[in-house]
């Protein structure tokens, strides 16, 4: 739809949405739930995850012309992970916890891979150090290879392996003899 306006007797055509904006909007509509799921897995908090996704989408839009069509998902994941790392690196960031109003926020993202029955495992993953948690989320929840995880985090494959091994050892220690969780690390 092309709208025209007149100013001082001159007709001016209103700008149509660009192909760039249309392409970005289509990609965002298709992938926003995936980004929110990954952000929630990284942060463990719906509101922080939404903020993280918002920042990621803003940065991706600014770089949209430079990103190839085949690399958009990995570029978005890299932005998401880097922004998450920046969040927990900031020493001035304070967590606010509202205690007067206990409202359970249901995560709007559903996935058969995490059906809620492994609360103990998720609690243990949430308690991991930030980099270990990011490695576990990308390797086991997002099912990325070691190389893809390394690229997303900007670290070497060896660091991915060592962080994953340390995280798994910590999870085994914290989970103890939970027979209902046996074999979870082999699912990958």
Contact status, residue 188 vs residue 139, Cβ threshold 8 Å: yes
Q: What is the CATH number of the domain that holds 83?
A: 1.10.1740.10
Across the range 122-143, mean pLDDT stands at 88
CA distance 114 to 71: 26
Verify that 29 and 78 share a domain, yes or no: yes
- 13: pLDDT confidence band, cut at 50, 70 and 90? very low
Q: How many domains does the chain have?
A: 2
Q: Dihedral sign, CA of 141, 143, 144, 145?
A: positive
Instruction: Verify that 120 and 81 share a domain, yes or no.
Output: no
Residue 126 in any domain: the answer is: yes
Q: Say whether both 124 and 72 belong to one domain.
A: no
**pLDDT digits 0-9 by tens, 61-103:** 999 988 877 789 999 999 999 898 887 666 445 555 555 665 5
Domain membership of residue 109 (yes or no) is no
Out of 3-7, 34-38, 89-93, the most confident range is 34-38
Question: Taking the CA atoms of the chain, what radius of gyration do you get in angstroms?
Answer: 21
- Domain holding 36, by residue range, is 19-92
Residue in the structure block whose two tokens are 């149509």:
16
User: Domain check: are 88 and 136 in the same one?
Assistant: no
In a domain, 174, yes or no: yes
In a domain, 8, yes or no: no
Residue 33 sits in the same domain as residue 80:
yes
Both 130 and 182 in a single domain? yes
The answer on 133 and 167 residing in a single domain is: yes
Task: Mark whether 26 and 62 lie in a shared domain.
Answer: yes
| In a domain? residue 150 | yes
The kind and range of the H/E element at 133 are helix 130-136
83 within domain boundaries? yes
Evaluate if pTM is beyond 0.75.
no
CATH number of the domain residue 159 falls in: 1.10.10.10
- The tokens describing 172, both together, are 């085994």
Q: Does residue 101 lie in a domain region?
A: no
> Is residue 102 in some structural domain?
no
Evaluate whether 87 touches 137 at the Cβ level (below 8 Å): no
């Amino acid at each position: 739809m092309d709208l025209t306006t007149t100013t001082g007797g001159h007709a001016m055509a209103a700008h149509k949405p660009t192909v760039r904006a249309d392409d970005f909007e289509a990609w965002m509509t298709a992938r926003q739930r995936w980004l929110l799921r990954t952000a929630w897995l990284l942060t463990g908090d719906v509101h922080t995850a939404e903020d993280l996704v918002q920042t990621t989408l803003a940065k991706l839009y600014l770089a949209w012309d430079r990103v190839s069509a085949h690399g958009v998902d990995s570029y978005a994941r890299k932005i998401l992970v880097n922004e998450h790392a920046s969040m927990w690196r900031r020493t001035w960031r304070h967590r606010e916890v509202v205690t007067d109003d206990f409202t359970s926020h249901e995560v709007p993202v559903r996935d058969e891979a995490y059906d809620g029955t492994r609360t103990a495992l998720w609690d243990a993953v949430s308690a991991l150090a930030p980099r270990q948690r990011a490695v576990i989320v990308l390797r086991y929840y997002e099912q990325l290879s070691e190389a893809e995880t390394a690229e997303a985090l900007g670290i070497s494959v060896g660091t991915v392996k060592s962080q994953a091994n340390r995280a798994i050892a910590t999870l085994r220690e914290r989970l103890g003899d939970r027979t209902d969780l046996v074999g979870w690390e082999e699912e990958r």
